[in-house]
Structure 1
Amino acid sequence: MKMKNKVTLVNMISSLALQICTIISGFIIPKIILSYFGSDTNGLISSLNQFLSYISLLEGGVTGVVAANLYKPLVNGDNQKLSAVVVTSKKFFNKVGAIFVAYTFCLAIVYPLVFEMDFWYVFFLTVILSMNLLVQYMFSITLRTLLNADKKLYIVSFTQIISTILNTILAYVSVKIYPSIHLLKLISGLLFFAQPVIYGRYVRKYYSIDWSAEADNQLLKERWNGFAINLAAFIHNSTDISILTFFTNLATVSIYNIYSLVAVGLKSLVQALTSGISATIGHAYAREDWNELNQKMDLYEYIVFLLVSFLFTVGALLITPFVMLYTSGIYDADYNQPLFGILLLISEALYIVKYPHLNLSYDANKFKEITKPAFVEALINIVVSVALVGKLGLVGIAIGTTLAMIYRMGFHVYFTSTIVKNRPQKIFYKKLALFASVSVFGVFLCHKIFPISSYTIKQWLIHAIDYSIILGLLYLVISLLFFKKELLFFKSYLKK
């Protein structure tokens, strides 16, 4: 148990380090693109990346199904079953990769023709941007899923940290020597080829995978149970930019992209800080240890609520001032969108607070049972966003996403109560009501005591510190008053 807990902690630390590097890089590279190539180019890259990501629909939920089917053979030491699952995954994703190559060239041809842009400029940029996804599907995804399921997330994280740091440095150097968006993105794409090499060496050394094992065709049939889950996640991440591309312009896409950098960064921090917990939930469910599972779900919920409430409330107070500072000197688009920024963060917060319940459904291999709600979420997101984008623009997009997230969150809380003994829905909603009330009060308090009067780096940093202290103290007080059991369990867990 002591070693398992240490591995969980190492996974969380390494994942946090990766997300910090990714967030920093995620702010530096778009700033370089905005400064050297403008908002339209930044919007074009965001749009192309979203259209390229459409190929993930072909994956059809296989990644989640593979991960769910890896837990038991890993726990039981069943190398025969483990090999069958890994080989099945690899063969499937090789096919996806081949199809992706054809899709890339179709997109590279159609996109510049439909949107009447410079053909060869967009064509070669599309091909270059596709390299990341191609490497992922053809070489990386199966190995990465195996390592994650076996609590070896730190191997993946440290590898990606090195790639991210090199990518950021080389991006800056490349624009100084020869400012070309194609060269900048080509360097990034080539760096991804190092990742599967490292994963492959580690897997060959520490796992007894029989690569000649027969594929488990039954596992591939199960992927359709995960397709809706994959579709819902895809729509959540891709619908907004796709709709904006068709109904607005690339400058608006760029505005969305810059604000989403903050939302994605905060979401990544929460994922990193809780990354080591999901696998332990999966192992507890596989052992059918309901007492341990309920304890870990209590802790998981509390940690997610605490992190989301603190990070996203501070973020809501500071997002627009940050974007205005970040885009200072950029005058080809209106980046002052405070209402959109707040709604965007609310929608992402609602998306994240259901993580303990969503991940439990994945770990329990309940893909079939949660298929219909995933489709309903996707439908709500698309219909409302399309209906409102014409009149409300970015705000309409955020409203559509928020309504979809509220529905999906409610379903997953209900579903958990049906598969985990002694876990009523009120456990979750009491936490939600408490943290939401404190967040609203905290926002009022911060605005009343320390309103932001000017957009300067010094003022932003001072207010960030002040807001963090005020909100941090509020969440500390409610933690000590209402979550002593979770804090004691977490303390004992770390000591083991």
Structure 2
Amino acid sequence: MSTRAVILKNISANLLLQLITALGGFILPPLIVVTYGSATNGMLASVKQFIAYLTLLEAGIGAAAIVALYQALTAHDNQLRNRILAAAHHFYRISGSLFAVALVVLATLFAWLTRHEISANLTFCIVLVMGAVNILDFFFFGSYRALLTADQKTYIISSIQAVSIFANIAVCYWLIRAGYSILSVQTASTLIQAAKFLLYRRYVRHHYSGLNQHYDKHHPYHLQQTWDALTHQLTGLLIFSSPLVLISLFLSLKDASIYAVYALIFGAIKMALQSLSQGMQAIFGHSLSTNPAQTRHNFCRYNRLFMCFLGWVYTCTGLLLAPFIQLYTHNMTDANYHQPLLAILFLFVGIIENSRIPAMTIIMAAGRYKATKPQALLEAGINITCSLCFIQIWGSAGILLAALISFLYRSTEMLHYSCRHILSLSFSRPLILWLVIFITIAVAISIGWQPISNISVHNYLDWIKLSLITGLIAALPFSFLLLLIYRRPVQ
């Protein structure tokens, strides 16, 4: 299969996954707020973030295994492949056991922290039920995911996940509308998500001959940079999971619910942007060692395409967010979900954060975990320190301001490192492209804000019509810009 076909399949499958995920995100939380209250919605969102912290027990196994598997798959060395998978599977099982213990501790602590707003017994059970899927992932799928990712078959992962999420949306929607308890809903969700592991196992066993994950403790394969990859995972989860944790601890579950609604919308946008990088890590990982010149050429085109797409997406978001929030939170009356300042800060943070995706992709493809570890630690330090200070002064807005400061540093640093130390490219051209995109977004939103504000949006059909018109008009400047720069020579 050609590289272009692989990219197309990976991106298409991931876009389908993100679309279905976003659909569930937009359908279920409002229903949960209306049926069970904002406190329950805030609790569920916070539990997801706490559980995300516990997945650190993966200890960088997956990231290290993916990099190691590039060599084995390129050389068609099944024996080396099996040794790498056996080592990964062994450590996943150890991590899964530790995760199970940590999950019980988390359930106990979180039930105590939120006991004044929600029943402690209910919270305890929900944490255990929600975390059960992760335990299964550790024991049964971790090594398979590494294999499929390294072999440029993330479209298999995305397709199966899309089916399971769609089934989860349908079942949870019916259960909520039928009046079942939130615990029953979460239990059904866990069972549906667990079923996907059977499909993964069936596919891998059928398509990879001679697969053997038996761990020989006398002659084990030693995964390189495992702890360095862990550091990146740790800093990433501290940064991206800490907001709801801090809001739950320092503010309230209702504040967490408000933040979660905006985070849901911008998270869906982030997933759409990440779809353009789906499968690119494996492609760059295979080509960096065999054809560096072609890798530079492909990366520059990919970066230009990605940045223009990012500009278009966030221009549309800036213009269409306010009317969407009004429709989306129309029935959420137990908290004030109209927060213009949060919306503006989320927009700034999203633009800066997602600008790093191409650079991050090439860094991960090259396996430069150890070399970039100090910068990752510094970003986490800036983010957490500022968050703890700013949340006391500005509340949820302070969390976003802290993220903006840390992302400005890290995104610029990632671009510099990838250009200078991996691709041997000039840093100035990608940086100028960033500035041009940012300015174009600002100008486009400034021009379009007033006309769109004067248009009345009464339902989702009105909003969709407005979105189509806005999207077409907003595409013009970025399409013109892409035509100017896409085929420019690499320097």
Give TM-score scaled by structure 1 length: 0.93
Aligned pairs for 1:238-257 within 5 A? 238-257=241-260
Distance in 2 (alpha carbons) for counterparts of 1:206 and 1:286: 26
The offset of 1:130, in angstroms, is 0.9
Q: In structure 1, how many angstroms separate the alpha carbons of the residues matched to 2:331 and 2:214?
A: 58
The whole-number CA distance in structure 1 between the counterparts of 2:184 and 2:5 is 42
Q: 2:170 — aligned with what?
A: 169
The 3-state SS of whatever aligns with 2:338 is coil
Please list every run of at least 4 consecutive aligned residues from structure 1 whose deviation after the TM superposition is greater than 6 angstroms: none
Q: Which residue of 2 aligns with 1:362?
A: 364
The answer to whether the 8 Å contact 1:259/1:319 transfers is: no
Deviates more, 1:275-284 or 1:235-244: 275-284
Structure 2: which 5+ residue stretches go unaligned?
Answer: none
Return the offset for 1:225: 1.2
**Aligned counterparts of 1:5 and 1:178: Cα–Cα separation in 2:** 48
Listed as ranges, the matches of 1:172-321 within 5 Å are 172-207=173-208, 208-214=210-216, 219-220=222-223, 222-287=225-290, 289-321=291-323
Shift of 1:277: 2.4
- Residue 470 of structure 2 is matched in structure 1 by 467
Which amino acid letter does the alignment assign opposite residue 296 of structure 1?
N
Partner of 1:429: 431
Q: CA deviation at 1:212?
A: 2.3
1:344 aligned onto 2:346? yes
Q: 1:132 to 1:143 in 2, by over 3 A?
A: same
Aligned to 1:492: none
The structure 2 residue matched to 1:484, chosen from 473, 482, 487, is 487
For residue 213 of structure 1, report the CA deviation from its aligned partner.
Answer: 4.8
- Structure 2 SS opposite 1:253: helix
Q: Give the stretch that moved more between structures: 275-284 or 162-171.
A: 275-284
Once structures 1 and 2 are overlaid, which stretch shifts more, 248-257 or 459-468?
459-468
- SS of residue in 2 equivalent to 1:130: helix
* Cα distance, 1:459 vs structure 2: 4.8
Deviations 1:25-50 (A, max 9, x none): 11111122112111100001111111
- Match for residue 38 of structure 2? 39
For 1:386 and 1:466, how far apart are their aligned partners in 2?
A: 42
**Conserved 8 A contact 1:278-1:356:** no
| Cross-structure match for 1:493 | none
Change (3 A) 1:273 1:414: closer
State the 1:453 CA deviation: 5.5
Unaligned runs of 5+ in 1: 490-496
Q: Is the 8 A contact 1:324 1:455 kept in 2?
A: no
1:136 matched residue in structure 2: 137
Number of residues paired by the alignment? 485
* Aligned amino acid, residue 30 of structure 2: K
Structure 1 residues 375 and 452, CA gap change in structure 2 (3 angstroms): farther
Residue 157 (str. 1) matches residue 158 (str. 2): yes
* Paired AA for residue 70 in structure 2: Y
Contact 1:377–1:407 under 8 Å retained in 2: yes
SS in 1 for 2:214: coil
Alpha-carbon distance between aligned partners in 1 of 2:456 and 2:384, rounded to the nearest angstrom = 37
Q: Distance in 2 between matches of 1:306 and 1:324?
A: 28
Query: Does the residue aligned with 2:425 lie in a helix, a strand or coil?
Result: coil
Q: Per the alignment, do residues 221 and 450 of structure 1 end up closer, same or farther by CA in structure 2, a change over 3 Å counting?
A: closer
Distance across 1 between alignment mates of 2:276 and 2:123: 38
Residue 129 of structure 2 aligns to a residue in which SS? helix
Shift of 1:90: 0.9
- Is 1:19 the counterpart of 2:18? The answer is yes
Shift of 1:183: 0.8
User: Shift of the alpha carbon at 1:415?
Assistant: 1.2
1:358 to partner: Cα distance = 1.2
Matched to 2:352, the amino acid is: L
Q: Which amino acid in the other structure matches residue 37 of structure 1?
A: Y
1:157-209 deviation digits (Å, cap 9, x = unpaired)? 22111111110110111123332101111111011222221111222222222
Pick which of 319-328 and 236-245 moved more: 319-328
> How far does residue 8 in structure 1 lie from its aligned partner after superposition?
2.1
Give, in angstroms, the shift of residue 60 of structure 1: 2.5
1:455 CA displacement: 5.1
Greater shift in the superposed pair: 80-89 or 57-66: 57-66
In 1, Cα distance between equivalents of 2:137 and 2:212? 22
Letter of the aligned partner of 2:472 in structure 1?
Answer: I
Q: Provide Cα deviations, 1:445-466, integer angstroms capped at 9, x if missing partner.
A: 1024333455532553343233
- Aligned pairs (5 A) from 1:102-141: 102-117=101-116, 118-141=119-142
Q: Is the 8 A contact 1:241 1:256 kept in 2?
A: yes
- Alignment match of 2:395 (pick from 387, 393, 396): 393
The C-alpha deviation readout for 1:239-286, integer Å capped at 9, x for no partner, is 111110111000000011100111110111111233132221111113
Contact 1:12/1:274 (<8 A) preserved: yes
Q: How many Å apart are 1:319 and its aligned residue?
A: 2.2
Q: Once the 2 structures are TM-superposed, how far is the Cα of residue 388 of structure 1 from its aligned partner?
A: 0.9
Give the direction of change, closer, same or farther, for the CA distance of 1:384–1:454 in structure 2 (3 Å limit): farther
> Please, which moves more after superposition, 297-306 or 373-382?
297-306
Task: Give the % identical residues.
Answer: 25
CA–CA distance in 2 between the matches of 1:206 and 1:394? 48
Distance in 2, Cα, partners of 1:115 & 1:9: 45
Structure 1 residue 235, shift from structure 2 partner: 1.7
Report the Cα distance in structure 2 between the residues aligned to 1:210 and 1:462, rounded to whole angstroms: 53
